[in-house]
């Protein structure tokens, strides 16, 4: 069993959503009160399509066991180099 860390693939979106929604229901890692939908998570994936805001996943035996993402903090130019880091 070996951990592989790589960039997310579109086929990983549902596994990442499952991890996130587990935290919504059982944890305190997110401030969401309602689970996210697969459609919302495809939008999340699409919003991380540039080199400055990647999503990486950790896999074991090709199963996603965690992920991390960098998201824009604010859209104003002065915040361009500032990001929000999420780890699940």
29 and 88 Cβ atoms separated by less than 8 Å: yes
53 and 47 Cβ atoms separated by less than 8 Å: yes
User: In degrees to the nearest 10, what's the CA dihedral of 78, 83, 84, 87?
Assistant: 180
- What average pLDDT values come out for the chain (88 residues) when binned by 10 residues? 96 98 93 95 91 94 96 88 92
* Alpha-helical segments (H) within 1-88: 13-26, 38-46
Instruction: Name the residue range of residue 50's domain.
Output: 3-87
Q: What predicted TM-score, i.e. pTM, was given to this entire model? A: 0.89
Tell me how many domains the chain contains.
1
- Give the CATH number of the domain where residue 30 resides: 3.40.630.30
Q: Rounded to whole angstroms, how far apart are CA atoms 26 and 49?
A: 29
């Amino acid at each position: 069993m070996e951990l592989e860390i790589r960039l997310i693939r579109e086929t990983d979106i549902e596994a990442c959503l499952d991890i996130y929604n587990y935290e919504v229901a059982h944890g305190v890692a997110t401030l969401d009160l309602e689970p996210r939908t697969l459609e919302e998570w495809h939008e999340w994936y699409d919003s991380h399509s540039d080199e400055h805001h990647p999503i990486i996943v950790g896999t074991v035996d090709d199963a996603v066991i965690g992920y991390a993402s960098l998201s824009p903090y604010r859209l104003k130019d002065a915040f361009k180099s500032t990001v929000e880091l999420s780890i699940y």
